[in-house]
Structure 1
Amino acid sequence: MSNPERERMAPPDQTPDHNPDHTPGQTSARAGRAPAALKEHANPWYRWGPYLSERAWGTVREDYSGDGTAWEAFPHDHARSRAYRWSEDGLGGICDVEQRLCFALGLWNGRDPILKERIFGLTGNEGNHGEDAKEYWWYLDAVPSHSWLRWRYHYPQRQFPYEQLVSENQRRSREEPEFELLDTGIFDENRFWIVEADYAKADPDDMRIRVRITNPGPETETLHVLPTVWFRNTWSWEEGGEKPRLATAGGDTIGMGSMVLQAAPGPDGSMPRQLYCDNDTNTERLYGVPSGAAFPKDGINDHVVHGAATVNPAHEGTKAAFWYQVTVAPGETVELSLRLAPNAAPDAFGPAFDQVLHQRKQEADTFYAELAPAGTSDEDAMIMRQGFAGMIWGKQFYNYDVAKWLSGDPGQPPPPPGRQHGRNAGWRHLDASDIMSMPDPWEYPWFAAWDSAFHAVALAHLDPEFAKYQLLLLCREWFQHPNGAIPAYEWAFEDLNPPVQAWAALQVYNIDGRRDLEFLTRVFSKLVLNFTWWVNREDEEGRNLFEGGFLGLDNIGPIDRSHLPPGYRLEQSDATAWMAFYCLNLLEMARELAAQNPAFDDLVVKFLEHFALISEAMHDNDLWDEQDGFYYDMLRRPDGSSEPLRVRSMVGVIPLFATKALPKEDFARVRRLSKSFAAMPEHQVVPGTDGMVGVGVAAHGRTRRILPHLFDEQSFLSPYGLRALSKWHADHPFSVELPGWTATVGYEPAESSTGMFGGNSNWRGPLWMPLNYLVLRTLEDYHANLGDAVKMEYPTGSGRQCTAGEIAEDLRQRMLALYRRGPDGRRPAFGWIDQFQHDPHWRDNLLFYEYFHADNGAGLGATHQTGWTGLLAEMIARPTAHQAEVRS
């Protein structure tokens, strides 16, 4: 049996390289092309993967309402009965790269009013802190080829408290914590099922599936397990759409055209029943209109739960399930075995079945052992592995043709007329059908531009070709707007995310060995278009002071930065600094490309010139406050007056990122060729070590003023990284007077008490991983330029002098401490949840949260935000230079 982690990395038209010295993540420039848009080039190991979301209801794509209320337009209650237009969902599922055929688990504890076919959670308007999944599941393991995947879920044995979760969270205020499933007491006495699904590929199209069911409770219980296959509904939207067919192919086999699902007998030796219906909407239940399908989508649900005659006795349809009923004694585990493959086999579940699972697990162990740097502890190796597993499970099928969505399908009622001028109306060109890295498969089952950039940096250690594909994808003509804009996220493609794509592309290029110049050239040419769009769109007065709105930072200030009162403008410290950062990263790309092609020299000069103009604007205008030693946004009023928004937040820290070290000879050469850059004041130029010269948008003296704020434990520095808002504001809230109201911001270390950008927008105080990560890598750049000679007090007031490299390593250790067990045996990220801290059924299953309590480290927000919190795994796979020196 071949090793897919080696084979997937070989070009599709060449023999796989079985080099025993192979290192994970080191591939050729042509290796393992990612799927979907280039399906004809995709490595076969990508054909099947964890591309099936945990939620497709409540998304923008499925919203055909007149008022854009996506959560209410397609609620959870509709999901079991209504066919999805754009994608599918399921429990711990997989599908093919085009999501034509899907497989997932269905469960029923004998007490719930519905089958458990998808994860339940609150909508944005139901939760006191916004949308929130109210279940417990984990992505425990995965490898890039998807030849080995492991998923785990805890399902209550008593009736699931759907109504209680909704009503109690609606009752609670923003000042109260969310009411979680554990809070209901439903898991008391271990009265729940542990359901684990392992997937192992014997070859690219032969998937062996093992489902383990454990009863940790005190009594013998029965669980209904329904491994389910179905076709995504592609036939209802176009007149004459061809409808595929599932049908029985024997007592143990469901046939589905070119594939079959084969089932082994249950623990009692009996074969499970086969149940069939159609993946079509039950219009009678939802709308009181007779259904076009005799056995619609919820037929299996109604038959199992209510005994209704709602499954097809002819054993055919477009959705089918094997129905196991397993009775498990306390403390025991039973196993179910299935095989998804091109053909049924009489000996499908013999010793060879177990051998495939065993070998793929061993290969995954080897893959991650090679990925961990020497000296990595077992605990850090586990954190890294589960973090990367979540990122692989976050690879999702994303399907969205905006023109069709706006105009409606021929076979369906037309959308409301106002839709033509509403959400995403200016993005008719966007036509996606791709595998994309999502922030998470439930709370954010859609891409976000700057999230994707951070994902790519982490994924580059696992699968650099997929990481590069993600960065290129948003710049392809079916994503990037003809005017150069990159879509932000599906709720509003026209919103702006920080332009971090160039930085991420350089990081991926470096991690992949600095050799794929074709990738660098392709992404550079598209990002130049995007940079030009920013300059033309977001610098209203041509002063090189940029606006841009919320820029992903939501509630970071006292006012909604995207919706100002009429006549007001906001010159943004962060937007301007992001553009300087963008300049420097495009400059670095141009320098790299110019080494092979001198034609790029002109662009080196161009971006240094533009960087100098932005630096001058930040230096000479009002964004810098000399008294406070900090950068602030500047509010311009209609009467010509202005006011700095004196909020000490990450907005004023971002200028530190716009720093670059240049070889002295390049620096001198470019100065001779340029004008604005040549005139940069000396205090923005810092001679470094090894013939390097550092330039920065924040002058050296200003950097020295900002860093004491950043390193102050009573300001930004927390035990677990850097706060988004200075703790100084706990005693010094900031207010600004606007027409008819007063806007105020104060320090909030956890959930925000304002719903300015929706209930789950909480940038006001918590610790967020991406900006912490950028600070860490910026400090590494400082150290690379300045060396050991330059030291700073860290923490502020401690009297301890440290190099920038030592500070970067300390920040890394603080962030990793979120998930490491402390002396008391507790992981800070698990907060006050005792089961997560101590119970052996829970404690080593990691949840990667969206953000963290800035004072105690408790995980908050989305519970599976492995996307950018997965940077923790990257920090283990790529420690700081200082740590590498210590280990060596």
Structure 2
Amino acid sequence: MGRQRKRVVTGEAAPPPRKDEKPSALHRKEKKKKVDIGKIFINISIGLCIFSLIWFFYALYMRSSLAKRVVTLHPSSHVLDANSSSAKVSPERFWGSYRPQVYFGMKTRSMMWMRQFSDLDVNLRHTCEQGDRLQGYGWLMHDGITFGVQEIRDNDFTLTTEFVKKMGGDHGGDWTWRITAKQHSSAPQAPVISLMFYAAADTQGSLEAHVEERNRLASITGFSEELGNFKITFRKPVTGELSSAKYASSLSFQLQLSSDCSPGLEKLTDIVKHSLNRRFVYSSPSGEKRHYIAVDTYKPPHHQNQQNPADIRKESDFVVHQVTVQTPFQIEVLFESGSFHNRPNQLVGSIMTQELEKRKSEFDTKFEKTFGLESKGYSHSHIKFAKAALSNMLGGVGYFYGQSVVQSVYNEYPLLYPEGALFTAVPSRSFFPRGFLWDEGFHQLLLSKWDPQVTREAIAHWMDLMNMEGWIPREQILGDEARSKVPAEFVVQRNENANPPTLFLGLQELIQQFSSNPDKTASQATLPFLRRLFPRLKTWFEWYNTTQTGPLPNSYRWRGRDKDTNLFLNPKTLTSGLDDYPRASHPSADERHVDLHCWMALSSGIMASIAKLLGESHQDYELSHKVLSDNNLLNELHWSEQLRSFSDFGNHTQAVSLQQEKVYVPPGQPRHQFPVARLVRSVRRAPKQQFVNALGYISLFPFLLHILTPDSPKLEHILRDMRDSNKLWTPYGLRSLSKSDPMYMKRNTEHDAPYWRGPIWININYLAVRALHHYGNAEGPYKEKAAALYEELRTNIINNYNDSTGRGQGSHPFTGWSALTVLMMAEQY
């Protein structure tokens, strides 16, 4: 019997289907829809998980990749060939006084000295130290290649160090040192001096000492892959004709250490100190016997682990030879290359004297031909000063090798940069004996006039240290010896931090030399040099344009300002080169820095010139230069109507001061158990977005780098501020910050004396003199005023440094960009 179906009355609930009854089509669709949505949800979830995993691993990969970029060198061919510094390729430059941080040294072979019977315990002189308090030291003559004459004035005697090189063979030829000691007329008696000569093999090689009777070291022979076979001969001292002093003693020792604790060059002073002993007796000319200090057996510090005799190498890494003698005397040390086979005579005695006089004469001739100071009517003393200034820069050129310590935001810990070499001048032999990117451009302005090849090599070395991002570590602390002179907090270089691209100044000079006389021998190497350099220059310029941009279009901002606003009166901007110059009081991403804007305007113009010279695309660089040099844009971004000067912009207040920190000590508690009160910054009025309104070097940059047009009315304000003695003018040069500024000569912390807050700096004064020369020769309403100011400032500048007395300040000697005085004397800009 067939089953009857009940009619479903509209509005009534349908009865549930029986178990054996199939679901209706509508119900099946709804169920299928639910299943489909579930599957879609599951699929989406799986997809999201897979995507998240892919993104996670991609992010890890990208972070790892980005972390490696900071220590990955630029992929283009090196500007310098791998063997460009070798003896075969460049024999005349292979040897040199390339250790500016020591008083006298040829690459890795150097000299120490100490005064015997002194009131001081051990007054050992080796590395250039301000604490040695010498009366003075510096090169009187140095041609950068073949010879040099230096004078070192100690308290009661003077050491004159001279060296001459002679080409021959395959390893840079021979060289001879001559050290002459003379007592000062004010010295109560003839001083007894110990000279300590040492040879150190800081690369793989061997040294062997040859000792004569009475423990006198006659010579050292050795071998290294770089030098081949060589011999160093220590000639006996020669005393003056009127002197009754006799040769006192000669002692030496060899240091043999296991390979895992071989000393670095930075430890050599301590090694010698730990080898000294008072058991030696000196017989004076009068017959009196006195104990003196001399090298004995090296005794490692007690904490140094004792080494296994089986680990000691047969040949030493370090040989020291001490000669103790009464002044006056003269000693010669001769280095002879084993590959110099047809040597006509030894470079000693009268032969050395003849060669030295020949080189001096050639130096004088080249100096006059290059700078023309004699023809300009300068006195003998002025010319002597200028020669010493140039020679100190040439004698301060160093050759360094090692690794920087760097970090990016993608690295948790600092990394070692790839090993590299750097041929560079240094700012100060005592305090800054290493390469600084911002200083080097100024150095090369002078050196390019003397020897363009030195400039090409120095710039090439710097650019070969560029990483793939286009970043160059701004301070080159290469190797342990360099690192030993740097406070720990300044060792790590960060890849977001720039430095003024002053190498463009040296490049600008090379271009001008080539353009004015392309057939001149000194200029012919410039074009191929620029062609090899150009890929790195493009990346370098682009790096500045992407990492140092400001908040507004075509504005720029230095990264790397100090972030601890509590301790600094004004947080420093070390990256700008003008460390403590007043910027915005509260660092922020809204800042605009006028000096960096001007550096980029200059750089883009020089990039356009180089691109044109090489036949490369130059339109983008020309456009950048045109935009950044637009005086209307410059006024809009940086002209302060209140100050009537160019200025930085940022989150700023002038109502700040350093105040003694309040430390609460509960009643009855001892004060010494609580922190020492510090000077901390007090902000009396909240900062706001405004111009910084500090008148000084920063205000002058549109003028200094020739960004202003000769008819700009802003030029009138700048010339007036420069000449105002209540603002920037002094009889010795332009002060770095206006005398009327609230931060003039104010300390930045309780320990930081003012640096760019009043003292005179020769590099900026050189730019000012050069700019006055430029505007004094350009048609415009301010031509005559600029020309008159040029003559006055140029005359005053030689008496530079302290803005009240003209006395030199800071690190001594600061013989880097201070030598730019020579170019002002020669009127070569």
Does residue 253 in structure 1 map to residue 219 in structure 2?
Answer: yes
CA contact (8 A) 2:584 2:652 kept: no
CA contact (8 A) 2:174 2:336 kept: yes
CA contact (8 A) 1:274 1:322 kept: yes
Map Cα deviations across residues 770-799 of structure 1 (whole Å, 9 max, x no partner).
11111222223324431xx6346xxxxxxx
Q: Which residue of 1 aligns with 2:523?
A: none
CA deviation after TM superposition for structure 1 residue 652, in Å: 1.3
Map Cα deviations across residues 211-230 of structure 1 (whole Å, 9 max, x no partner).
11111244333423334122
CA contact (8 A) 1:224 1:323 kept: no
**What is the one-letter code of the residue matched to 2:276?**
N
Map Cα deviations across residues 305-326 of structure 1 (whole Å, 9 max, x no partner).
65675069x9973333443222
1:140–1:637 Cα change, 3 Å: closer
Q: Which residue of 1 aligns with 2:193?
A: 224
Give the counterpart of 2:781 among 790, 810, 833. 790
Q: Which residue of 1 aligns with 2:644?
A: 629
**What is the one-letter code of the residue matched to 1:810?**
E
How far apart, in 1, do the equivalents of 2:633 and 2:719 lie? 21
Does residue 810 in structure 1 map to residue 792 in structure 2?
Answer: yes
Map Cα deviations across residues 335-373 of structure 1 (whole Å, 9 max, x no partner).
222222226999764532332233233333333233331
- Partner of 1:659, secondary structure, is coil
Give 1:36-115 correspondences, 5 Å limit: 38-39=85-86, 42-54=89-101, 90-95=102-107, 101-111=108-118, 112-114=120-122
How far apart, in 2, do the equivalents of 1:349 and 1:608 lie? 57
**What is the one-letter code of the residue matched to 2:323?**
Y
- Partner of 2:154, secondary structure, is strand
1:53–1:366 Cα change, 3 Å: same
Q: Which residue of 2 aligns with 1:754?
A: 748
Q: Which residue of 1 aligns with 2:600?
A: 579
Q: Which residue of 2 aligns with 1:165?
A: none
Q: Which residue of 2 aligns with 1:607?
A: 624
Q: Which residue of 2 aligns with 1:459?
A: 447
1:213–1:765 Cα change, 3 Å: same
CA contact (8 A) 2:128 2:430 kept: no
- Partner of 2:778, secondary structure, is helix
How far apart, in 1, do the equivalents of 2:811 and 2:501 lie? 23
Map Cα deviations across residues 141-194 of structure 1 (whole Å, 9 max, x no partner).
3333432212222334xxxxxxxxxxxxxxxxxxxxxxxxxxxxxxxxxxx121
How far apart, in 2, do the equivalents of 1:524 and 1:315 lie? 49
How far apart, in 2, do the equivalents of 1:760 and 1:348 lie? 49
Does residue 538 in structure 1 map to residue 540 in structure 2?
Answer: no
Give the counterpart of 2:770 among 768, 772, 777. 777
How far apart, in 2, do the equivalents of 1:381 and 1:505 lie? 27
CA deviation after TM superposition for structure 1 residue 281, in Å: 10
CA contact (8 A) 1:720 1:814 kept: yes
CA contact (8 A) 1:34 1:46 kept: no
1:700–1:280 Cα change, 3 Å: farther
Give the counterpart of 2:386 among 380, 384, 389. 384
CA contact (8 A) 2:209 2:254 kept: no
CA deviation after TM superposition for structure 1 residue 530, in Å: 2.0
Please list every run of 5 or more consecutive structure 2 residues that lacks an aligned counterpart in the other structure: 1-79, 224-228, 240-244, 281-291, 300-312, 477-489, 519-525, 562-572, 654-685
How far apart, in 2, do the equivalents of 1:578 and 1:249 lie? 59
Q: Which residue of 2 aligns with 1:554?
A: 579
**What is the one-letter code of the residue matched to 2:441?**
A
How far apart, in 2, do the equivalents of 1:878 and 1:282 lie? 55
Q: Which moved more, 1:773-782 or 1:250-259?
A: 250-259
Q: Which residue of 2 aligns with 1:517?
A: 527
CA contact (8 A) 2:640 2:646 kept: yes
CA contact (8 A) 1:280 1:297 kept: no
CA deviation after TM superposition for structure 1 residue 383, in Å: 1.8
Which of these two proteins has the greater Rg computed from alpha carbons?
2
- Partner of 1:225, secondary structure, is strand
- Partner of 2:604, secondary structure, is helix
CA deviation after TM superposition for structure 1 residue 376, in Å: 4.0
Map Cα deviations across residues 113-146 of structure 1 (whole Å, 9 max, x no partner).
3352424646xxxxxxxxx763333223333343
- Partner of 1:533, secondary structure, is helix
1:366–1:510 Cα change, 3 Å: same
CA deviation after TM superposition for structure 1 residue 272, in Å: 5.4
Q: Which residue of 2 aligns with 1:205?
A: 173
Does residue 336 in structure 1 map to residue 344 in structure 2?
Answer: no
Q: Which residue of 2 aligns with 1:643?
A: 690
CA deviation after TM superposition for structure 1 residue 246, in Å: 2.7
Q: Which moved more, 1:262-271 or 1:207-216?
A: 262-271
**What is the one-letter code of the residue matched to 1:326?**
V
1:855–1:546 Cα change, 3 Å: same
**What is the one-letter code of the residue matched to 2:624?**
F
CA contact (8 A) 2:551 2:591 kept: no
1:351–1:545 Cα change, 3 Å: closer
Map Cα deviations across residues 677-719 of structure 1 (whole Å, 9 max, x no partner).
xxxxxxx8x6xxxxxxx7xxxx812222322112223221221
How far apart, in 1, do the equivalents of 2:316 and 2:534 lie? 48
Q: Which residue of 1 aligns with 2:591?
A: 570
Give the counterpart of 1:709 among 699, 717, 721. 721
CA deviation after TM superposition for structure 1 residue 461, in Å: 1.9
**What is the one-letter code of the residue matched to 2:455?**
A
Map Cα deviations across residues 623-665 of structure 1 (whole Å, 9 max, x no partner).
21124321121123799951221111111111224536xxxxx
**What is the one-letter code of the residue matched to 1:211?**
I
Give the counterpart of 2:758 among 741, 747, 765. 765
Map Cα deviations across residues 199-253 of structure 1 (whole Å, 9 max, x no partner).
122435222222111112443334233341222434xxxxxxx552232165632
CA deviation after TM superposition for structure 1 residue 445, in Å: 1.1
CA contact (8 A) 2:550 2:591 kept: no
How far apart, in 2, do the equivalents of 1:401 and 1:40 lie? 23
Does residue 876 in structure 1 map to residue 821 in structure 2?
Answer: no
Q: Which residue of 2 aligns with 1:415?
A: none
Q: Give RMSD over aligned pairs.
A: 3.9
Give 1:218-367 correspondences, 5 Å limit: 218-234=187-203, 242=204, 244-248=206-210, 252-257=218-223, 258-266=229-237, 267=239, 273-278=250-255, 298=273, 300-302=275-277, 309-310=296-297, 317-328=316-327, 333-342=328-337, 349-367=348-366
**What is the one-letter code of the residue matched to 1:482?**
M
CA contact (8 A) 1:246 1:319 kept: no
> Normalising by structure 1, what TM-score?
0.63
CA contact (8 A) 2:98 2:106 kept: yes
Q: Which residue of 2 aligns with 1:167?
A: none
> Normalising by structure 2, what TM-score?
0.67
**What is the one-letter code of the residue matched to 1:248?**
H
Q: Which residue of 2 aligns with 1:435?
A: 423
CA contact (8 A) 1:276 1:315 kept: no
CA contact (8 A) 1:36 1:434 kept: no
CA deviation after TM superposition for structure 1 residue 873, in Å: 1.7
How far apart, in 1, do the equivalents of 2:353 and 2:87 lie? 32
How far apart, in 2, do the equivalents of 1:34 and 1:712 lie? 52
- Partner of 1:655, secondary structure, is helix
CA deviation after TM superposition for structure 1 residue 520, in Å: 3.5
Q: Which residue of 1 aligns with 2:159?
A: 195
How far apart, in 2, do the equivalents of 1:873 and 1:640 lie? 44
Map Cα deviations across residues 524-554 of structure 1 (whole Å, 9 max, x no partner).
4433322221221122435222110420111
CA contact (8 A) 2:737 2:758 kept: yes
**What is the one-letter code of the residue matched to 1:363?**
E
How far apart, in 1, do the equivalents of 2:717 and 2:548 lie? 28
- Partner of 1:727, secondary structure, is coil
CA contact (8 A) 2:128 2:429 kept: no
How far apart, in 1, do the equivalents of 2:105 and 2:544 lie? 40
CA contact (8 A) 1:368 1:385 kept: yes
1:781–1:585 Cα change, 3 Å: farther
1:199–1:620 Cα change, 3 Å: same
1:539–1:245 Cα change, 3 Å: same
Does residue 481 in structure 1 map to residue 459 in structure 2?
Answer: no
How far apart, in 2, do the equivalents of 1:600 and 1:872 lie? 37
How far apart, in 2, do the equivalents of 1:120 and 1:518 lie? 38
